[in-house]
């Protein structure tokens, strides 16, 4: 069903009005766009965003919508280096009144309420989980099973930390901050043992990080159907 929904969503294109941008950390920027009344997405989905204010070679890139639908804005948060790509340089040049084109929303990266969930984020891979957890908070949604976020960041910058700490006041939500892969694997083992393979696992981060953690889960007899992946390319 998701394939057909995504195929239909590819025909949904719209221009979003740029509102503002700001730094989250030294190299992570957030961009906010106006949400039109008829634009809806599920927390954890992404869109294809196209630069329209100037001509560049690779003008379209996928980004997770880091905001929850209930927040009323479209948020993109992304890492930008000192020598940004042509696309990200164009993002930095956005000014109020300019627009960016969005195709979508796309994807089905969202937990089900009826299973315990382990959310595993690497670096900027935190963005879909911010959307998911923020939506639970804003809806005051009574989730049925525990949801644990493991947030790995070797630089210990942990963007959205204040927001995540507030959301973790929910009795069924916990957040663990980690700066080493060994610590991450220990936490995964604890969750897997506790739930005896019944949990669902969501991994978001770099392509290599997502692959290595997915392989680790499979080696620990976690069924492939219980693992969902969101790999961030070229960030």
Q: For residue 112, what pLDDT is reported? A: 79
**Contact (Cβ atoms closer than 8 angstroms) between residue 34 and residue 94:** no
Q: For residue 12, what pLDDT is reported? A: 77
Q: For residue 233, what pLDDT is reported? A: 59
Give the number of other CB atoms < 10 A from CB of residue 177: 15
Tokens of 3: 């394939």
Global pTM reads 0.92
Question: Residue 205, class by beta-carbon neighbours within 10 Å (0-12 exposed, 13-18 middle, 19+ buried)?
Answer: buried
Buried b (16+ CB within 10 A) or exposed e, 179-203: eeeeebbebbeebbeebeeebbbbb
Pairing of β 227-232 and β 147-152:
unpaired
Q: For residue 235, what pLDDT is reported? A: 47
**Contact (Cβ atoms closer than 8 angstroms) between residue 166 and residue 137:** yes
For the chain, residues with pLDDT lower than 50 are 1, 4, 234-235
Q: For residue 46, what pLDDT is reported? A: 94
Which of 169, 178, 63 lies closest to 125 in space, CA to CA? Answer: 63
Which of 102, 57, 56 lies closest to 75 in space, CA to CA? Answer: 102
Question: Residue 10, class by beta-carbon neighbours within 10 Å (0-12 exposed, 13-18 middle, 19+ buried)?
Answer: exposed
**Contact (Cβ atoms closer than 8 angstroms) between residue 192 and residue 223:** no
Helix (H) or strand (E) holding 214: helix 207-219
Q: For residue 36, what pLDDT is reported? A: 87
Residue written as token pair 């990080």: 209
**d(C-alpha 134, C-alpha 166), whole Å:** 10
**Contact (Cβ atoms closer than 8 angstroms) between residue 12 and residue 104:** yes
How do residues 116-172 score in pLDDT, each as one tens digit?
Answer: 999 999 999 999 999 999 999 988 767 888 999 999 999 999 999 999 999 999 999
**Contact (Cβ atoms closer than 8 angstroms) between residue 196 and residue 171:** no
Domains and CATH numbers, the chain: 2-105 (2.40.30.10), 117-232 (3.40.50.80)
In the sheet where 200-206 sits, what is the strand order?
173-178, 147-152, 117-122, 200-206, 227-232
């Amino acid at each position: 069903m998701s394939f057909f929904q995504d195929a239909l969503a590819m025909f949904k294109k719209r221009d979003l009005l740029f509102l503002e941008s700001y730094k989250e950390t030294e190299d992570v920027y957030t961009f906010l766009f106006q949400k039109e009344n008829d634009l809806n997405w599920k927390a954890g989905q992404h869109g294809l965003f196209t630069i329209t204010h100037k001509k560049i070679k690779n003008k379209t890139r996928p980004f997770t919508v880091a905001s929850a639908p209930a927040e009323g804005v479209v948020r993109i948060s992304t890492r930008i280096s000192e020598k940004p790509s042509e696309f990200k340089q164009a993002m930095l040049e956005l000014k109020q009144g300019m627009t960016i084109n969005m195709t979508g929303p796309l994807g089905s990266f969202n937990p089900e309420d009826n299973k315990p969930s382990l959310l595993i984020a690497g670096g900027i891979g935190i963005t879909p989980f911010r959307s998911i957890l923020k939506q639970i908070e804003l809806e005051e949604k009574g989730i049925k099973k525990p949801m644990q976020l493991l947030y790995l960041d070797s630089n210990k910058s942990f963007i959205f930390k204040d927001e995540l700490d507030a959301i973790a006041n929910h009795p069924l939500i916990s957040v663990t901050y980690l700066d080493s892969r060994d610590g991450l694997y220990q936490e995964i083992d604890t969750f897997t043992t506790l739930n005896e393979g019944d949990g669902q696992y969501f991994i978001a981060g770099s392509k290599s990080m997502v692959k290595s953690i997915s392989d680790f889960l499979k080696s620990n007899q976690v069924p492939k159907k219980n693992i969902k992946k969101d790999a961030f390319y070229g960030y």
